[in-house]
Structure 1
Amino acid sequence: MPAKLTILTNGSIKVEGDFEVCDPQGGVFNVAGKPAVFLCRCGQSAKKPFCDGAHKTCGFTSEVKASA
């Protein structure tokens, strides 16, 4: 299945399908066997680039809708 990214309202980016998560130098984060991961958008996660739920307490808000 191709990678699918879903921007969650007031939350993270859900990534599912066939994907790799890499750092700027090309290192690959170990996400093997995970059907989905959640990437931080608020900048407050202690587990960057992954979401740890910090957006729930830091006041982060964002509602994104695709335009046709």
Structure 2
Amino acid sequence: MPTEPAERPRRARMVRGGPLMIDGPVELVDFDGNVIQCDRFQVAVCMCRRSKRYPLCDTSHRPKKSQQ
């Protein structure tokens, strides 16, 4: 019986001061056991917990631009 080729491992890259970038698609499971389907080719997971879309990043970690 032929075996299917092994899928390459998913890559997760930590961005200094930013999110955890995961090659998608991926399923995220939150602390309550809820499953979040992410079909994008790359998913940004919030590491600072400032995101209003937590656990997904909404770029809240970026410094605000000063008004001139």
1:35 matches 2:16: no
Higher helix share: 1
Whole-Å Cα distance in 1 between the matches of residues 23 and 29 of structure 2?
Answer: 15
Q: Which runs of 5+ in 2 are unaligned?
A: 1-7
* Mean Cα deviation higher: 16-25 or 45-54: 16-25
Counting matched residue pairs gives: 57
Higher strand share: 2
Q: TM-score, normalized by length of structure 1?
A: 0.69
Q: Which runs of 5+ in 1 are unaligned?
A: 59-68
Q: CA RMSD in A?
A: 1.8
RCO comparison, higher one (Cα < 8 Å, 6+): 1
Which 4+ residue blocks in structure 1 deviate beyond 4 angstroms?
none
Superposition deviation, residue 41 in structure 1: 0.9
- Work out which of the two has the higher radius of gyration on C-alpha atoms and give 1 or 2: 2
Q: TM-score, normalized by length of structure 2?
A: 0.69
Partner of 1:21: 28
Identity over aligned pairs, percent: 26
Q: Relative to structure 1, is the Cα distance of residues 18 and 50 closer, same or farther in structure 2, using a 3 angstrom cutoff?
A: closer
